[in-house]
């Protein structure tokens, strides 16, 4: 019984760690996406600036 309880605890810990990693990945991906959009907007505004002047 004790080994079964230990295995269950180990599995729950692994699932918890996996969920934490997924959340970190989603947060990082969102930051990268936001930075990419900012970069595109900056390039677009600079292109417009050079086109006008």
Residue-level pLDDT at 51? 65
Alpha-helix residue ranges (DSSP H) falling in 1-53: 2-52
Residue-level pLDDT at 53? 57
pTM of the full structure = 0.67
Domain spans of the chain? 1-53
Q: How far apart are the first and last CA of the chain?
A: 78
Query: pLDDT for 1-53, tens place per residue?
Result: 579 999 999 999 999 999 999 999 999 999 999 999 999 999 888 877 666 65
Residue-level pLDDT at 49? 66
CA distance 1 to 10: 14
């Amino acid at each position: 019984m004790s080994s079964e309880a230990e295995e269950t605890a180990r599995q729950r810990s692994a699932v918890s760690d996996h969920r934490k990693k997924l959340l970190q990945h989603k947060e990082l991906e969102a930051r990268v996406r936001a930075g990419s959009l900012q970069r595109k907007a900056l390039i677009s505004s600079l292109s417009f600036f050079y086109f006008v002047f």
